[in-house]
Amino acid sequence: MKAQFGVIGLAVMGQNLALNVESKGHPVAAYNRTADRTKAFAERTQGRKVVPAYTLQEFVATLERPRAILVMVKAGSPVDDVLAELFPLLAPGDLVMDGGNSHYDDTDRRLKLAEERGLLYLGVGISGGEAGALHGPAIMAGGHLEGYARVKGILTKIAAQGPEGPCCGYFGPGSAGHYVKMVHNGIEYAIMQTLAEAYDLMKRGLGMSPHEMADVFGEWNRGELGSYLLEITEGILRTRDPETGAPLVELILDTAQQKGTGKWSTQSALDIGAPAPTIAAAVFARIVSALKDERVHAEKLIPGPEPHLAADRAGFLADLHHAVYLTAVSAYAQGLRQLRDASQERGYGLDLAEVARVWMAGCIIRSKLLVPIRRALTAQPDLPILFLAEPFRSRWRDHHASLRRIVAEAHRHGIPAPAMSSALDFVDAYRTGRLPANLIQAQRDWFGAHTYERVDRPGTFHTEWEAIR
Ligand code: NBP
């Protein structure tokens, strides 16, 4: 049996994507560096249209030409290792897709290497974890359009089917797909941090039980904030440890990891000068969380107020809902703004409304919010920031006082809320016609003769500040 699609790398994602492709009627060739994994997969898929291969040569030989191969191995040097071995075995016109979380610079470099051999290359961001890979992920492709055209049918079939079409899209040349996936993960960091802050405020601030908090998250999830992350947060808070019977979340060590993509998203925002403070705050919050021993030590030495809020619970929870809403919108707003800036800088030609559409199902940041977000971006494709468009402008107008009260209460009681605070600061700065950066320019000119511009006449100026003082 010849296979129509090949998967290299049979860990969690590769196995499930291979099964997904096969379930749509396409015979799949499967290869993994370590043969045991291939063997286990072959046993698991007996009777299905899966062709296991134990060498790359065998794998390549089982594929129909021109070949379509998805590489699903650990991001970084493993991808280079695979490509170094794979490329020489392929024929011009064959297509290689990297479906891992590769850095966009690596994707641009690898695409050139593929081009030199007459191969087609796609950097494909795939979101949705294990279940998404099997039942329908969100797929963000970039690279050779001709290559995408060849596999669009299969990718569209295996993708999540969203309210506005299959969650699969081609976003532009080079590393466009991996860049979109990276920023998706940055937004994911920010929303996860926002929900963690809401949990902290309810738990330490209001003294609520996991079950009570689950009820709140569940109620929010049934409204306009409905999202995958709210859904799993409710589920987490309702889960008990089978061994002890205690709420499982309370038994989990409070140190979060920050792997590649969230950090890269912030690094790139800094490189291109895109304002993404809420995403950055979420990355830094994880970095601080990792300082567990230092935090436990400092708790005894650095004083602060008691975290207990004396608030009226119903009113506080209503405010908290609005604060979470505005912070989540801020995360999407900043991520989409970064995509807009990166698209200009890197020549991706991104269609942001299409990005919002592809994020509507399958991926970790799927949310009802993406429906009005897509509508706003369709009406104004170059929208600088979501809060300039309806319904977000009205929402900000009607509820920014809630966000202010929550941030103020958090600060007053010593409960960190970096995502919510940064979202508030970001919008406040964005809506301020004159910021104090004039003083910063003066300071720079004083100590470094960096010059400044004036508001009353054109040109570049330098002052001998000490001389005229
Ligand atoms: P992992 O990221 O855990 O990678 C394991 C796979 O990489 C195995 O097949 C392993 O082969 C292979 N591999 C390694 Br490690 N080094 C290799 C090398 N030098 N040459 C060939 N193969 C090598 O797998 P995953 O969790 O399925 O994720 C795959 C990609 O998808 C990653 O980029 C990940 O970031 C991304 N992703 C993951 C998720 C998720 O929920 N897990 C979601 C979205 C995206 P071996 O069996 O021989 O060791």
Q: 374 and 233 share a domain?
A: yes
* Mean pLDDT of the 137-164 span: 97
Indicate if 319 and 454 belong to the same structural domain. Answer: no
End-to-end, the C-alpha distance of the chain in Å comes to 86
Same domain? For 299 and 447 the reply is: no
Last residue of a domain, one of 174, 198, 233: 174
For residue 393, what is the domain's CATH number? Answer: 1.10.1040.10
Q: In the 3-class helix/strand/coil scheme, how is 35-58 assigned residue by residue? A: HHHHHHHHHHCCCCCEEEECCHHH
Q: Is residue 94 scored above 90 in pLDDT?
A: yes
DSSP 129-164: HHHHHHH--EEEEEE-HHHHHHHHHHHHHHS-EETT
Question: What is the sign, positive or negative, of the torsion defined by CA atoms of 81, 10, 71, 89?
Answer: positive
CATH for 457: 1.20.5.320
Distance, in Å, from the CA atom of 323 to the CA atom of 315, rounded to the nearest integer, reads: 12
Q: Give me the pLDDT at residue 43, please.
A: 96
Total count of residues recorded for the chain: 469
Residue span of the structural domain in which 387 resides: 181-430
The C-alpha angle with vertex 153 and arms to 152 and 156, in degrees rounded to 5, equals 75
| Percent share of the chain, pLDDT over 70 | 100
Mean pLDDT of 396-421: 98
How does residue 310 score in pLDDT terms, banded at 50, 70 and 90?
Answer: confident
- Name the closest-CA residue to atom 49, ligand 1: 34
Residue 24's φ and ψ, nearest 5 degrees, are -95, 10
Using the predicted structure, report yes or no on whether residue 1 has a pLDDT greater than 90: no
Residue 423 is predicted with a pLDDT of: 98
SS3 per-residue string spanning 305-333: CCCCCCCCHHHHHHHHHHHHHHHHHHHHH
Ligand 1 mean position, distance from CA 35 (Å): 15
Do 317 and 405 have their domain in common?
yes
pTM of the predicted model as reported, rounded to 2 decimal places = 0.96
- Domain match, 244 and 140 both: no
Is 181 catalytic? The answer is yes
Same domain assignment for residues 28 and 153: yes
Please list every protein residue whose CB sits less than 6 Å from any atom of ligand 1: 9-14, 32-34, 37, 72-75, 78, 81-82, 100-101, 126-127, 129-130
Between strands 5-8 and 28-31, the pairing is parallel
pLDDT, mean over the chain: 97
Q: Is the pLDDT at 147 greater than 80, yes or no?
A: yes
Q: Quick one: 136 and 198 in the same domain? A: no
Tell whether 423 and 452 lie within a shared domain: no
Verify that 351 and 205 share a domain, yes or no. Answer: yes
* In the predicted structure, residue 396 carries a pLDDT above the cut 80: yes
Distance between CA atoms of residues 178 and 66, nearest Å: 24
Same domain for 163 and 248, yes or no, is no
pLDDT for the residue numbered 29: 98
Contact predicate 160/136, CB 8 Å:
yes
Is the confidence at residue 259, as pLDDT, over 80?
no
152 in active site: no
Taking residues 241-252, report their average pLDDT. Answer: 97
H or E segment to which residue 210 belongs: helix 210-222
Could you tell me if 46 and 125 lie in one domain?
yes
From 120, 142, 174, the end of a domain falls on: 174
The neighbouring-strand residues paired with 162 are: 165
Q: How far apart are CA 173 and CA 347, in angstroms?
A: 8
CATH number at residue 84: 3.40.50.720
Nearest to 124 by CA among 146, 147, 141, 105: 141
What is the spatial distance between Cα 322 and Cα 324, in angstroms, rounded to a whole number? 5
In this structure, are 84 and 56 located in the same domain?
yes
pLDDT at 418: 98
Ligand 1 centroid to residue 73 C-alpha, Å: 3
The pair of structure tokens assigned to 433 is: 């016609």
Q: pLDDT: is 209 or 257 the higher one?
A: 209
Which is the catalytic residue, given 188, 234, 354, 409? 188
Tell me how many domains the chain contains: 3
What CA–CA distances, in Å, run from 140 to 82, 175, 202, 296?
A: 22, 10, 36, 41
| pLDDT tens digit sequence for 19-51 | 999 999 999 999 999 999 999 999 999 999 999
Using the Cα atoms of residue 6, residue 10, residue 14 and residue 15 in order, give the sign of their dihedral: positive
- Per-residue pLDDT for 438 more than 80? yes
